[in-house]
Homo-oligomer: A and B are copies of this chain.
Amino acid sequence: MDKAGGGRMPNFIRRTPEGEDRDRQICSDCGYVAYENPKIIVGSVVVEEGRILLCRRAIEPRHGFWTLPAGYMELGETTEEGARREAWEEARARLELDGILAIYSLAQIGQVQIIYRAHLAEPGIAAGPESLEVRFFTWEDIPWNEIAFPSVHWALKAWAEGSPGVAVNPAEDSRGIAGL
């Protein structure tokens, strides 16, 4: 994270800034308040003829495990643009999006995941620099024991259920919020 700086790492302390109601990370060297907000992950369940696109990770965490094409949304793009960019970067796939499949809050790690339904806008996939390989799997062939993250399981299951509406965290992970 500090590769580019070559200098000191910031010396953060937690303190409540004046006029606020909660602690923030504040650099005790320069006074910078690092507002930490949840980060958005955008990704897609890409389906062609009933088969689902997965990418085997060439990076940590979970190197060698299978995941959906997904990653951090960047400034200056829409959620849809981000989902399509990630599919290109990780699987050289050009997507057409078919609406929102799921929104997951991972409060413990400060993530909100927005997952789209999608299909290929043009033929062809190939491993991008962050993938070891990319493949379409039938449901039965999905390597269930080598899935990178719980939310990949959730999204695949939400897709298979085919319910209308937006899927959210499964009940056992929902922080007890009923009715959603």
Query: A2 to chain B: which residues have CB within 8 Å?
Result: 31-33
**Interface hit among A12-20, A49-57, A133-141, A154-162:** A12-20
Tell me the minimal C-beta distance from A72 to chain B in angstroms. Answer: 6
Q: Is the CB of A6 within 8 A of B31?
A: yes
Q: Is the CB of A38 within 8 A of B38?
A: no
| A153 at interface, CB cutoff 8 A | no
Tell me the minimal C-beta distance from A154 to chain B in angstroms. Answer: 14
Tell me the minimal C-beta distance from A151 to chain B in angstroms. Answer: 13
| A76 at interface, CB cutoff 8 A | yes
Q: Is the CB of A100 within 8 A of B40?
A: no
User: In the complex, A56→B10 CA distance in Å?
Assistant: 39
| A1-34 with Cβ < 8 A to chain B | 1-11, 15-19, 22, 24, 26-27, 29-34
Q: Is the CB of A3 within 8 A of B22?
A: no
Tell me the minimal C-beta distance from A73 to chain B in angstroms. Answer: 5
Chain B residue at minimum C-beta to C-beta distance from A78: B105
| A63 at interface, CB cutoff 8 A | no
The 5 A-B pairs of least Cβ separation, nearest first, read A5-B31, A78-B105, A4-B17, A7-B31, A10-B32
Residues of A at the B interface (CB closer than 8 Å) are: 1-11, 15-19, 22, 24, 26-27, 29-34, 36-40, 72-81, 96-100, 103, 105, 107-108, 110, 112, 114, 164-166, 168-169, 174-175, 177, 179-180
- Would you mind naming 17 contact pairs between A and B with Cβ atoms under 8 Å apart? A3-B17, A4-B17, A5-B27, A10-B30, A30-B30, A34-B34, A37-B39, A37-B40, A37-B72, A40-B112, A78-B177, A81-B105, A81-B175, A96-B179, A98-B179, A100-B166, A103-B103
